[in-house]
Each structure stands twice: as C-alpha cells, then as structure tokens.
Structure 1
Amino acid sequence: MPSATVNGFQRGSKDAGDVVITGLSGRLPESDTIDEFAQQLFDGVDLVTADDRRWTPGLHGLPERNGKLKDLSHFDATFFGVHAKQAHLMDPQLRLLLEVTYEAIVDAGYNPVELRGSRTGVYVGVSNSETDEMWTLDPDKINGYALTGCCRAMFPNRISYTFDFKGPSYAIDTACSSSMFALAQAVDAIKAGHCDAAIVAGANLCLKPGNSLNFHRLSMLSPEGRCAAFDAEGRGYVRSEATVAVLLQRRAQARRVYAAVRGARMNTDGHKEQGITYPAGDMQRQLAADTFRQAGLRPQDVVYVEAHGTGTKVGDPQEVNAIAELFCKDRKTPLLLGSVKSNMGHSEPASGLCSIAKVLIAMEKGVIPGNLHYKTPNPDIPALSDGRIKVQFFLFFLYY
C-alpha cells in the first residue's frame, strides 16, 4: 500500500528541488475533462449510472450501477503516429493514456515537442486488459498487433515511444494502489536522478462482466451500486472506470504548479490470519506516520484527508480508525474526511490518481467537494460520532 502527502493548503516549501505536480488530465465517469469532472463534483452529481454501455444492467445478478466513461470509440491514430491496424487492436486504455499524457503536458505549459529526447520517465498503474482475449478468439484472424496493443508493458512503452521520452518506463500492478505506487516510484526516481521529469498515469476500464462477477461472488461489491463511504449502510464498493495522468517535475523547471509532493512511501501488510484480502489498519497508520515523518510535517496540522474510502464493512473501519489514531491527537478542530469514490465509484488501479485529481481541484478552486451517500456514521468508527472526524458531505471553502 502506498501513501503520498500532497501539500497545497500551506503551499509547502519553495525549494527549487521540490518535486511538484505541474500538469493534470483525465477521463472520468460522465466527464471528458478534469474541468467537467470538477463541476460535477461541486454540483454533487452521482456519476455512477445504470445503463447498457458495457452490458445489460443486472446481467448474471451483478449490481446494476457502475461508473463509466462516456465514449471509447474515438481515437486520432494519425495524430499519435499509430498504424491503422495497430490502432484497431489497441486496448482502449492505451489509446486514452496517449490522449491524457498529451493533455497533461500541455496543461503544464509545454508543447510536447519541447520534451522530445528528454529524460522523462513513464510510470503507469494498470491491472487488466479486458480486450486482448477478444482479438485471439479466432486463430485465423491473429495478426500480432494485439500483442503490442494490449500487453500491459506496452502501455508506458508506447507513451515513451510516441513522445520520445528517454527515462524509465514501466507498468505497475499493485491492484487498487497501482497508480499511487506509480507516483511514489516516480517521485523517488526524480529525487535519485534517474529521470528529470515523469508522467504518472493510471487506467481502468470495465469492458466485460467476468471480473465484476469475481468481485461480486467474493461479496466485495455494493448490491445497491453505490460507495457509501464511512456510512453505516456501506456494504461494498462500485466498480468504475477512469484514466488520469499527471506530469511531475522539479520546481525549478515548472511553468505552473498545482502542488508539491512532500513525501511518498510504500509498505505491505505481510501475513494476516484473516486472509490476504483483509486490510490491516495498523500497517496503514504506520505507513502514514512514516510518510509524514519523511516529509517533515505534523499530522495534527492537516486540514483534510482524502481517504481510500471504498464503503466496505471491513475496509472503512480499518482505515479511518488508523487515520483517527494518527491525525486526531492534539487537534483543536475536527479532521475533515472524504473519498471521491462516493461520487464516482472505485476505479481500482487508477483510483489513487482520481483521489489526487480531487485534491488538486480542491486546492486550485479553494473548495473541497462534498461526499455523497453519507447519512449515518459507521458505528465501527468511533471518531465519526465523537467529533474527532467530520465527513465533508457539503462544499467546504478553504481559507489559505
């Protein structure tokens, strides 16, 4: 599990060597741009929908609602220098990754041509390709392009090839923490001198029901199709789609700055008697404590925590009780808490960057979007009832 401290409320230090987020782009449920996503968050729109864009709602007893991107059918192969045959057999996740990478660079104030030949790394969090099987069902139609279009190793490598980046380039699969792990790897690489800048991205598409059925039959999914994070009625999470990219640079090279990444660390739970999928709150608390110590920040000075917050019966108490133990000592005001999954669902390997996107939106606009589906505090999280933690379910205006 990775942990990152993105400092913006106090704007962090002004050291030229700081690693900063300078560009941001994404495709999120019902949102073709970050600006559209931001407006939907501020308007309190539930971005999880029931429709047949992927499969018939309720198929095989699956929950009817999921978070889905608007349209996967368009791609300018000529613009990105991709052969027509390759584009046809390219995982749509990769097509989207090329688009959001380009947009993140432009958002940072650069013409992508300026970065050609640079020591820019590419770190992509991705877990599955749900298209490769489709292109290999008929042996007579296999032409080899599915291999270079759907192999996860090609996701970052295609980005490096297209934009002529010379830094490290690899895919990372740590399930739901993939894109945050990618961020931590990129920050470390820049600090260690392995690259001068980095594209960090995450992608997830739910194109066929098989994976959803696996989660459903493990009782992980919300029957109602909503992520009721931190609520007593939370009974599981909602699968969702997203593709998000950020550009990381040293502050000295930045033409704009969203936020400084003050620290990023990783750990894992090790063995647990309850099983491999059971979360370990004590390890989460230890990781966050180590991250803040590395960053030279005090947990009690934090205004708001954007949590993982999936709305599961076990996960929420483990996480939030760990947050309370670390962040709620010696506080004068309640800690504000939220999870973007309540608005859009859980985009699994891309979810960490979706959380980062929400935090950057809040810092840029000076307003924290509200949580959805929160009515009754989860009784297994005492801090929600005793006033130490306050779930932010309405707009909160920040004063720097």
Structure 2
Amino acid sequence: MSDSVKTAEVIQAWLVSRLSETLGIEPQAIDVREPFVSYGLGSTEAVSLAGELAEWLDRKLSPALVYEYSTIEALASHLAGSSDVPGPMRGADRGPVSDHEPITVIGIGCRFPGANDPRAFWDLLRNGVDAISEVPADRFDQWAFYDADPSVPGKMNTRWGGFLDQVDRFYANFFGIAPREALRMDPQQRLLLEVTWEALQDAGQAPERLAGSQVGVFIGISTGDYGRRQWNDLAGIDAYSGTGNAPSIAANRISYLFDFRAPSIAIDTACSSSLVAIHLACRSLRSGESALAVAGGVNLILSPAIAINFTKAGAMAPDGRCKAFDASANGYVRSEGAGVVVLKPLSRAV
C-alpha cells in the first residue's frame, strides 16, 4: 500500500494492532483518544513503535513522535495530514498584546481546607470560617512529634494546620493513568490534574479543543514530602518514582496530558511560588508566547519535617494562628491547598 492512500483510519488501525501486540492488550480495549502512556507504553517501546511506523510508512519520523502526539487519534491525524486535528486558537487569539493589557481570570479550580470548590471557598471567606485544625491522624502521629518546648530535638511546637480531606483519593482511570503509576505520583500532582480539569471546565474550555495549541502551564510547588518518603525505601523505587515526584513534572504532566504546547514550568520561590507562577503566566500571555495560560500552586503536609525545621527557626505559631502586624504575633501556621486559574488577555476573553 502506498503512503498516499494511508488514511487516518488506516494508520489508527495499524497503531491499535501494534500496541495490542506489543503490550498484550486486546484491540477492543484500546481507546484511540487515550494517551499512549495510559497503556503502559515506556520510552523504549515508544521509540521502537516510531521506528516501525517509519518503516511501514516509508518515511522519516521523529523518535519522539509518540510524545509529540500523545494519542493514537492525534498521531494518525497528523501523519495523514488531516486538518481535523483539534485546535481552538483562532488567529486573533495569537501574538503579543500591549504590556498594559489587563489579564483576566476566566476559570478557577481549587481545593482548600474546608472548601473543595470556588463556591465553597467564597462562602468560607464570606462567613469568616476558621478552617485550621489539629494534624489529622492520616498524616502522622502529632503526639510523637510535638513538644511545647521548641528546643527539644526532633519536635515541633505546634499541632495545628490547614488540611485537605481525602488526599489519598484519585480517579486515575479518568486521566488515563495506570494504577501502578498513580501509586507513585505525589498527591500534589494528582490534585493539580483535578483542579486544572475543573478550572478548564469553569472557563468553558473543552480540553480536547485545546490539544496541540499554545497553552502555557505555570505551577508553584515547593515541597515534596511524598517523594522523600519513597526515596527512603531504596528497594521500593521503580520506574515511576522519579516522574511521580519530580517538581518539574507537576507542570509537565498537565501539559502532556492535555497536549498543551506553550511553556510548562514549575516554580519554587518558597511562599511566593504561586504568585510568581501567575506573574510569569501573565508575561507569557502578553508576549504572545502563550495564547491561554493555566497557573497556580499546590502544597501538602505529609511529614512533620518542615514544621520541625520552622520550629527551630522560631517561625511556627504554637497556637496555630497567624497574627500579622499584631503585637501578639508569634509565628505562622502551615496549610495545604491547590488552586489553579485559567488566564487570558482581556481583549481576547470576550
């Protein structure tokens, strides 16, 4: 069969057949819209698949093709030269805008203590709800690490913080992630996927229509308690431990999953990380580098280590209350959360 008559449907069928044979999956179980990685396709298999595909089509192809077009449908459409590959950004949505152009928030997704969505968070703020609580038992044994005397080695002088519920829960199949990989993923990465999806829905942006377009991802992330726990078990480290806990992947996984093609950056500037992420997102939008931007941050407290460190530095408030600029101020309280906003230049958002 000559290359000219290999339609997207023919290429899809070949890819399904090869994926089935390579990974031992029944063809009918393969969804052409699911990412290759969701079927457990590793880097070695991906490069081999690209080589076999190049030989079958009798044309040169990039060894990284499977990563550039992350689903069978997208790859087949690209190779067939189809103009039907989803892409939402009109010409008017691209290119730089004025340095003074206002940037607007068109969508929000969030998880905060006592509030699992933007409406609940607004109600919490409006009603002045105090969402600080004692350390939950599913994090760590607070009494094993607490002492009112901040000088005691290995102890923290506070039992308080802001905590999210059910951070161990994750619908991996929804995002096309294999259970084994999901187990190794830092819950911070899982939360970011969930709130990014919700923010895009809130913005009225269908993710499949954004695939392949100039959408930037800017994520503030500073801690990695889950990864430190894994690295302490050398025998338990597997192929997913690295990507599951690398801060860079917190942003890159979002870009890969949704096939976003603008900058994908994880930022660590400590407490200002998410603020700097939004600053960089705005700059990217104004320069025309991104046509749409996803920006935000995440933090989970899965270990007492940082609280112990801050206790020794005199930074923790023993009563778990921040009293900024007050004579009674005696430190601050740590908290968990994940928040993502979808940003666009104002003139292109209406």
1:255-294 Cα offsets, whole Å, 9 max, x none, are 6xxxxxxxxxxxxxxxxxxxxxxxxxxxxxxxxxxxxxxx
Hey, what's the Cα distance between the residues in 1 that align with 2:333 and 2:120?
Answer: 21
**Residue in 1 that maps onto 2:263:** 168
**Residue in 1 that maps onto 2:130:** 46
TM-score, structure 1 as length reference: 0.58
Work out whether 1:203 is the aligned partner of 2:287.
Answer: no
**Residue in 1 that maps onto 2:207:** 112
| 2:341 counterpart letter in structure 1 | V
Distance 1:16 1:217, change over 3 A: closer
Hey, what's the Cα distance between the residues in 2 that align with 1:200 and 1:33?
Answer: 16
| Amino-acid identity (%) | 39
Question: Tell me, what secondary structure is at the counterpart of 2:174?
Answer: coil
Q: Where does the alignment leave 5 or more consecutive residues of structure 1 unmatched?
A: 1-14, 256-400
Hey, what's the Cα distance between the residues in 2 that align with 1:42 and 1:19?
Answer: 25
Q: Give the structure with higher Rg (CA).
A: 2
Question: Tell me, what secondary structure is at the counterpart of 1:175?
Answer: coil
Work out whether 1:37 is the aligned partner of 2:121.
Answer: yes
One of 178, 181, 190 as aligned partner of 1:83 = 178
Question: Tell me, what secondary structure is at the counterpart of 1:44?
Answer: coil
Q: CA deviation at 1:176?
A: 0.7
1:337-394 Cα offsets, whole Å, 9 max, x none, are xxxxxxxxxxxxxxxxxxxxxxxxxxxxxxxxxxxxxxxxxxxxxxxxxxxxxxxxxx
Q: CA RMSD in A?
A: 1.9
Hey, what's the Cα distance between the residues in 2 that align with 1:128 and 1:79?
Answer: 26
Give 1 or 2: higher helix fraction. Answer: 2
Are 1:16 and 1:251, in contact at CA under 8 Å, matched by a contact in 2? no
Give 1 or 2: higher strand fraction. Answer: 1
| 1:50 counterpart letter in structure 2 | E
1:2-21 residue pairs with structure 2 within 5 A?
18-21=102-105
1:64-75 residue pairs with structure 2 within 5 A?
64-75=159-170
1:312-391 residue pairs with structure 2 within 5 A?
none
Work out whether 1:182 is the aligned partner of 2:267.
Answer: no
**Residue in 2 that maps onto 1:292:** none
**Residue in 2 that maps onto 1:308:** none
Hey, what's the Cα distance between the residues in 1 that align with 2:179 and 2:264?
Answer: 24
Q: CA deviation at 1:168?
A: 0.3
List, as ranges, runs of 4+ consecutive aligned residues in structure 1 with deviation greater than 3 Å.
15-18
Q: CA deviation at 1:74?
A: 1.4
Hey, what's the Cα distance between the residues in 2 that align with 1:36 and 1:24?
Answer: 12
Work out whether 1:92 is the aligned partner of 2:177.
Answer: no
Are 1:57 and 1:65, in contact at CA under 8 Å, matched by a contact in 2? no
| 1:45 counterpart letter in structure 2 | V
**Residue in 2 that maps onto 1:282:** none
**Residue in 2 that maps onto 1:26:** 110
Distance 1:71 1:179, change over 3 A: same
Hey, what's the Cα distance between the residues in 2 that align with 1:179 and 1:192?
Answer: 20
Q: Once structures 1 and 2 are overlaid, which stretch shifts more, 57-66 or 21-30?
A: 57-66
**Residue in 1 that maps onto 2:81:** none
Q: CA deviation at 1:19?
A: 1.9
**Residue in 1 that maps onto 2:311:** 216
Hey, what's the Cα distance between the residues in 2 that align with 1:55 and 1:74?
Answer: 17
Are 2:135 and 2:163, in contact at CA under 8 Å, matched by a contact in 1? no
Distance 1:184 1:16, change over 3 A: closer
**Residue in 2 that maps onto 1:234:** 329
Are 2:296 and 2:340, in contact at CA under 8 Å, matched by a contact in 1? yes
1:121-174 Cα offsets, whole Å, 9 max, x none, are 000011111111222333332212110111001010000001110000011111
Q: CA deviation at 1:103?
A: 0.7
Hey, what's the Cα distance between the residues in 2 that align with 1:22 and 1:126?
Answer: 22
Hey, what's the Cα distance between the residues in 1 that align with 2:136 and 2:163?
Answer: 10
| 2:122 counterpart letter in structure 1 | A
Hey, what's the Cα distance between the residues in 1 that align with 2:134 and 2:230?
Answer: 28
Work out whether 1:142 is the aligned partner of 2:142.
Answer: no
Hey, what's the Cα distance between the residues in 1 that align with 2:243 and 2:218?
Answer: 18
1:3-42 Cα offsets, whole Å, 9 max, x none, are xxxxxxxxxxxx9953211111110012211211211222
Hey, what's the Cα distance between the residues in 2 that align with 1:118 and 1:252?
Answer: 19
**Residue in 2 that maps onto 1:60:** 146
Question: Tell me, what secondary structure is at the counterpart of 1:189?
Answer: helix
The total of aligned residue pairs comes to 242
**Residue in 2 that maps onto 1:376:** none
Hey, what's the Cα distance between the residues in 1 that align with 2:129 and 2:225?
Answer: 28
Are 2:224 and 2:245, in contact at CA under 8 Å, matched by a contact in 1? yes
Question: Tell me, what secondary structure is at the counterpart of 1:195?
Answer: coil
| 1:55 counterpart letter in structure 2 | F
Hey, what's the Cα distance between the residues in 1 that align with 2:135 and 2:245?
Answer: 26
Q: Where does the alignment leave 5 or more consecutive residues of structure 2 unmatched?
A: 1-98, 148-155
